[in-house]
């Protein structure tokens, strides 16, 4: 059976490089499943969880947005930040979530609401993997 070579890369370096049977990602248009021999594509990714399947195992990676490049035998995820479950600090994510929620409750004009909304999504995404 053919497999996909998967790389997850951030500005801090590669997070993961391995072969998998299937990759499920949340593109801007919705969830897509990539199997070997998929047609080539490039797509933005939402702040979301990428699921990498191998046999009965699934590795989950918190992706803070970015891009996915698909070639028939290779998937590259380029993300501003990405963490596998064992690298997620739950306390830090909870604190980030609380900070973002407080900012969003503040109705003053000085709050960058889009930035706070993104921070909230990143924190919820990280917590979802750990739940």
Binding site for ligand ATP (CB under 6 A): 12, 64, 81, 83, 87-89, 92-93, 96, 119, 122, 126
90-105 vs 113-130: helix crossing angle, rounded to 10: 150
Helix (H, G, I), strand (E, B), or coil: what is residue 117?
helix
* Least Cβ distance, residue 42 to ligand ATP (angstroms): 22
Nearer to ligand ATP, 74 or 118 (CB): 118
Tokens of 74: 């290779």
Nearer to ligand ATP, 4 or 119 (CB): 119
Tell me the C-alpha distance between 29 and 128, whole Å. 21
Residues in a beta bridge with 48 = 63
- Helices assigned H by DSSP within 46-108: 90-105
Helix (H, G, I), strand (E, B), or coil: what is residue 121?
helix
* Least Cβ distance, residue 37 to ligand ATP (angstroms): 32
* Least Cβ distance, residue 16 to ligand ATP (angstroms): 12
Nearer to ligand ATP, 17 or 73 (CB): 17
Nearer to ligand ATP, 38 or 122 (CB): 122
């Amino acid at each position: 059976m053919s497999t996909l070579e998967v790389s997850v890369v951030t500005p801090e370096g590669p997070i993961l490089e391995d072969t998998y049977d299937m990759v499920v990602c949340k593109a801007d248009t919705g969830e897509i499943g990539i199997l070997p021999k998929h047609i080539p594509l490039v797509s933005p990714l939402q702040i979301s969880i990428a699921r990498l399947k191998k046999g009965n195992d699934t590795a989950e990676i918190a992706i803070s947005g970015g891009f996915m490049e698909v070639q028939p035998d290779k998937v590259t995820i380029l993300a501003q930040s990405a963490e596998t479950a064992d690298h997620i600090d739950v306390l830090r994510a909870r604190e980030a979530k609380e900070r973002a929620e407080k900012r969003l409750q503040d109705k003053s004009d000085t709050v960058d609401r889009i930035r706070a909304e993104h921070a909230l999504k990143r924190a919820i995404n990280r917590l979802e993997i750990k739940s």
